[in-house]
Amino acid sequence: MSTPRPGHPCDRAPRENRPCLRQNPTLPPAQARGQTPGQTPGQARAQARGQTPGQIPGPPAQGEVWKTSPYSPHRWREECGVVGIWAPGEEHIADLCYLALFALQHRGQESAGISVTNGLHIESVKGMGLLTDAFRNGRPTLNGHAAIGHVRYSTYGGSLNCNVQPIFAYSPGGFVGLAHNGNLTNAEEIKAAMTAEGCLFQTKTDSEVILNQMARANRENVEEAIGATLRTITGSYSLVILLPDRLVGVRDPRGYRPLCLGRLPEGGYVLASESCALDAVKADFIRDIEPGEMVTIDHKGLRSTIFDKAEKLSSCVFEYIYFARPDSVLDGLSVWTSRFEMGRELAKEFKGREADIVIPVPDTGITAALGFSKESGLPYLEGLIKNRYVGRSFIMPQQISRETTVEMKLNPVRANLKDRRVVLIDDSIVRGTTSARIVSLVRRAGAKEVHMCISSPPITQSCNYGIDTSIRKELIASNMSVEEIGNVLGVDSLIYLSEKGLLKSVGDPANQRNCLECFS
């Protein structure tokens, strides 16, 4: 991320007025962090852990939790959720958009926004936090025919008010509004070229690159302008685009991010990241938007064009493993069914070991644990109870908050765990921080053995397509063997689902349509 320019609207306060976060503000920054002259920050952190240069961190001592940087993620970060509604004659279109976004709240809890147009005017309400926080003072009241909405977790640009979507630009043809799910891999290059030509950017998001390119496109036909813009960008994106007289939905040529189409009872249309959002507004599912497809909805009806094609599809397989709601259907495949099959495949790969019960890490481990229980014949029990009033730990911006939240939101059921050999099912391990804490909870509750089974392969690479993970060296599986990770977590055995088993679970054994880059 580029350094903020002086006076940039995203800067929260002048530097001299910002609170000092150093442990000792009277010392120079490096010394305040415990860094001696000549030491890199990484060497200082390693020394603080008692680790020699090049040494892999060993397993934590009994009762100790493996520490991580206060501001680094230990879980996958959700990308975003988008909604577009075309409903002429609907008096409460903003409320429909709100309901659809509520069904997508799991995709981002950092900020939310809704924009409504009647063709002449546009009204936007945006804010930080959950939907209930962002719209605490009300939703748009404009009686319009189209609306777009967005829930966000920042994968690019940071958690700032100016980055809240939808975002807008004005061109000779009128306003253009945009809500974006994904991540552009060439955003910095395009932004640098546009800045050199005098273009100003009001946000730090890669989404604004798309918006400005569209507003500057010298095309009479709107669809041609959008298609020309999209052919200049690379990466992942599902977009809903609001214009005075139409609504446009777009999915990238490789299909990284999902987008589907539904029909409202009164005849309008809905575009959404997941089918569960259609259910929330009682819309009938029509179909998924195809990779490389642009759908335009206006007073003439619905029309579709293919603006680009890729040689190979690359839908993000983590939508099935973790991101999407289990009641959604993505590209014709039930998310719940795929997770159940992951559990069954995991049980087949677990054979040869003995255990007494299967328990999930709620919530994303539940369906896989049911599949594991079905295949293995081991009883499924609740071993961890989730406090529903605590936010999801992966989505909290600071590691300190996340680490505290893990123990606030999960509590063991000692009666189900005491003196039993436990199979603990979870969806993934990124840094290992959360998993180590959960294993410690289960052991303290009296489990005789803990065998951790993960319904995905080891994550060894960072994602460039809209999932904000740690850099590669911070991913535990990129630095350690499975046995070493098991020692760090403090488990009796650690089993990851194989890539073959994963692909079989999502109905793609030959890997014709899924992206597995984070595993290899």
Omega cis (within 30) before 252: no
Question: CA geometry: angle at 348 spanning 337 and 343, to 5°?
Answer: 30
Cβ(249)–Cβ(277) below 8 Å:
no
Q: How far is CA 383 from CA 63, 394, 434, 450, in A?
A: 20, 21, 16, 12
Inter-residue contact 180 to 82 (CB < 8 Å): yes
Give yes or no for a contact between 40 and 48, defined as CB atoms under 8 angstroms apart.
no
Q: Are 66 and 432 in contact (CB under 8 A)?
A: yes
Q: What is the CA radius of gyration of the chain?
A: 24
Around Cβ 238, how many Cβ atoms within 10 Å? Answer: 27
Closest CA to 259 of 294, 296, 222, 288: 288
CA count, 13 A, side-chain hemisphere, 16: 0
Distance CA 209, CA 220 (A): 20
Q: How many CB atoms lie within 10 A of CB 183?
A: 23
Count the neighbouring beta carbons within 10 Å of the beta carbon of residue 26: 8
Angle between helix axes 187-196 and 207-216 (nearest 10 degrees) is: 50
Lookup: tokens for 404: 């505290």
Is 260 among the residues known to form the active site?
no
Q: Check: CB of residue 237 under 8 Å from CB of residue 205.
A: no
Which phi and psi angles does 385 have, rounded to 5°?
-105, 130
The residue from 80, 97, 276, 518 that is catalytic is 80
Q: Is the peptide bond before 166 cis (omega within 30 degrees of 0)?
A: yes
The set of catalytic residues is 80
